[in-house]
Structure 1
Amino acid sequence: MTLRCRIMDDRDRAGWDGFVMAHPDGTIFHRAAWQDVIHTAFNQHPYFMLAERDGQICGVLPLVHMRSRIFKRNTLVSTPFCVYGGPIGTDGTVTTALIEAASALMRKIGANAFELRTIAPDLATSDWQAAPAIYDTFRKTIPLDDEACLKAIPRKQRAVVRKAIDLGLTSTIDRDWRRFFHLYAESVHNLGTPVFPARYFRLLLDCFGNDAEILTVFDNATPLCAVLSFTYKGEISPYYAGGGTAARGKGGHDFMYFQVMRRAIALGLDRFDFGRSKRETGPHKFKTNWGFSPTPLGYQYLLQPGAIMPDTNPLSPKYQRKIELWKRLPRPLANALGPIIVRGLG
Structure 2
Amino acid sequence: MTNGSKALYSVEEVKNEDYKLWDAYVEQHSSGALYHKMAWAKLIERTLSQKPRYFLAKDTSGKVVGVLPLVNLKSVVFGNFLVSMPYFNYGGVLADNTDVSTMLVNAATELADNLNVSHVQFRCSEENMPSDFHLSTHKVNMILDLPESQDALGKSIGSKRRSQIKRPIREGVSHKIGGKELLDDFYDVFCQNMRDLGTPVYSKKLFAEILNTFEANVHICVVYWEGKPVSTGFLMHYKDKLEIPWASTVRYANRISVNMYLYWQILSYAIEEGFKQFDFGRSSIDAGTYKFKKQWGAQPHQCYWYHYVPKGKALPDLSPDNENFGLAIKVWQKLPIGITKLIGPHIVKAIP
TM-score normalized by structure 1? 0.94
Shift of 1:144: 2.1
- C-alpha RMSD of matched pairs (Å): 1.7
2:89 aligns with 83
How many percent of aligned residue pairs carry the same amino acid? 27
Matched, 1:203 2:209: yes
Shift of 1:184: 0.2
- Correspondence list, 1:117-132, <5 A: 117-126=123-132, 128-131=133-136
2:72 aligns with 65
Count of equivalent residues: 343
Are the counterparts in 2 of residues 164 and 255 from structure 1 also a CA contact under 8 Å? Answer: yes
Shift of 1:344: 1.0
2:306 aligns with 300
Matched, 1:185 2:165: no
- Correspondence list, 1:264-343, <5 A: 264-343=270-349
**1:10 counterpart (6, 12, 16):** 16
**1:44 counterpart (33, 41, 50):** 50
Q: Distance in 2 between matches of 1:280 and 1:326?
A: 26
Runs of 4+ in 1 over 6 A off after TM superposition: none
Shift of 1:115: 0.8
Q: Distance in 1 between matches of 2:236 and 2:120?
A: 27
1:226 aligns with 232
Paired amino acid for 2:22: W
1:240-263 CA-partner distances (Å, limit 9, x unpaired): 112212331222211111111111
1:142 aligns with 146
2:3 aligns with none
SS at the partner of 2:311?
Answer: coil
Q: Distance in 2 between matches of 1:204 and 1:282?
A: 28
SS at the partner of 2:200?
Answer: coil
2:174 aligns with 170
Segments of 5+ residues of structure 2 without an aligned counterpart are 1-6
1:137-181 CA-partner distances (Å, limit 9, x unpaired): 111211121111222224433321233334442221222222211
Q: Distance in 2 between matches of 1:93 and 1:87?
A: 12
Are the counterparts in 2 of residues 154 and 291 from structure 1 also a CA contact under 8 Å? Answer: no
Q: Distance in 1 between matches of 2:111 and 2:160?
A: 50
Are the counterparts in 2 of residues 121 and 299 from structure 1 also a CA contact under 8 Å? Answer: no
**2:243 counterpart (237, 240, 243):** 237
2:4 aligns with none
Segments of 5+ residues of structure 1 without an aligned counterpart are none
Matched, 1:151 2:155: yes
Are the counterparts in 2 of residues 154 and 290 from structure 1 also a CA contact under 8 Å? Answer: no
**1:92 counterpart (76, 98, 108):** 98
Paired amino acid for 1:161: I
TM-score normalized by structure 2? 0.92
Are the counterparts in 2 of residues 170 and 220 from structure 1 also a CA contact under 8 Å? Answer: no
SS at the partner of 1:308?
Answer: coil
Change (3 A) 1:155 1:313: farther
Paired amino acid for 1:337: I
1:194-239 CA-partner distances (Å, limit 9, x unpaired): 1111111111111111101111112253212111111111000011
Change (3 A) 1:319 1:155: farther
SS at the partner of 2:304?
Answer: coil
